[in-house]
Amino acid sequence: MNMEFLRGNTNAFLNRLGIRYGHLTDNPELIMTLERGREVLKEMVCEEILDADDATELQKNMADLGLAEDDVAIVAVLKDISMPADYNAEDAKYYFVPCQSCESNPLPHGTVRRQSDDERMRKYSTVDDALVDFSQFVESDKMKILNATSMIKEMVQAEMPANNADGQKRYEALPDAVRQEFSDRRERRFEQVTQSLDRMLNEGPFGAILHMILAGPPSKSDDDSDDSHVGNEGHTPTP
């Protein structure tokens, strides 16, 4: 077997969080959980890059290096992260804002905004999405380690889902009345957006253009066809 699972130690952000991680030979994807490792290895076996025995050995290597079982286990670790006493969030480039009232998502989520102009950078619904993004931002020096750590800490404190599977499980565990309420809200919101688009297409400049497209090119009348031989005398022939 020429492939190895190499333990990572160069990502300062993940090191700061105490997350074990690594990557497979010639594969830059950072693997932080055994669950993700199994998924990647299964894909490689299906593509005949690895055989089943090699995949099993690599899974064992991942476990020996102490990778967490899944994203839920990582979030459990992140609950214990701490910040320096002198850290001032107001001096950070970005900050996290939990959503207080959302018509489409009953689970905790929020947005990352830029401090200087309050511009929304991205909406996050799961901790694992933020971990992947922030680790890349820190590596490319677009975000400072403590700034990223502080926002992850806030997301965990807000009890955001660990990943999409965790979010789906928690959503299905909500009372039927709550799920129905949010389903109705999404439906009403969809209807509002559809109506707005209809008005824009039918009443605005886009409507006129749309009608012209649907109508097609103007048809030539019988009279126009009959006098096409007239030439340029008071009439421009249709080419």
3-state secondary structure 159-182: CCCCCHHHHHHHHHCCCHHHHHHH
Mean pLDDT of 129-138: 92
55 domain-assigned: yes
Q: Is residue 75 part of a domain?
A: no
Asked, for residue 220, whether it belongs to a domain, the answer is no
- The pLDDT of residue 106 is 87
Same domain as 145, residue 98: yes
Instruction: Give a yes or no: residue 102 inside a domain.
Output: yes
| Residue type at position 30 | L
Does residue 49 carry a pLDDT above 70?
A: yes
Q: How far apart are CA 168 and CA 170, in angstroms?
A: 5
- pLDDT confidence of 237, banded at 50, 70, 90? very low
pLDDT at 230 over 50: no
The pLDDT of 189-207, averaged and rounded, is 68
Go through the chain and tell me how many residues it has.
239
CA 139 – CA 156 distance, rounded (Å): 22
Based on the fold, state whether residues 116 and 91 are members of the same structural domain. Answer: yes
Domain boundary among 170, 205, 224: 170
**Number of structural domains the chain divides into:** 3
Same domain, 86 and 164: yes
What would you measure as the largest C-alpha separation in the chain, in angstroms?
92
Q: Tell me which residue range forms the domain holding 193.
A: 176-215
On whether both 38 and 105 belong to a single domain, the answer is no
Segment 73-77 mean pLDDT:
94
pLDDT at 164: 94
**Chain segment 85-114, per-residue pLDDT in tens:** 999 888 899 999 998 777 678 889 999 999
pLDDT score, position 102: 73
Q: What is the pTM of this model?
A: 0.72
Residue 44 lies in a domain: yes
Q: Give me the mean pLDDT over the 169-198 stretch.
A: 80
Determine the pLDDT at residue 226: 47
164 and 181 inside one domain: no
Which of 40, 69, 98 finishes a domain?
Answer: 69
Domain annotation covers residue 154? yes
Residue-level pLDDT at 204:
61
State the pLDDT confidence band at 216, using cuts at 50, 70 and 90: low
Tokens standing for residue 39? 């998924």
Sign of the Cα pseudo-torsion (33, 63, 153, 170, in order): positive
Q: Are residues 155 and 103 in the same domain?
A: yes
Q: How many CB atoms lie within 10 A of CB 135?
A: 22
Tens of pLDDT, residues 6-21: 998 888 999 999 999 9
- Assess whether 91 and 153 both reside in one domain: yes
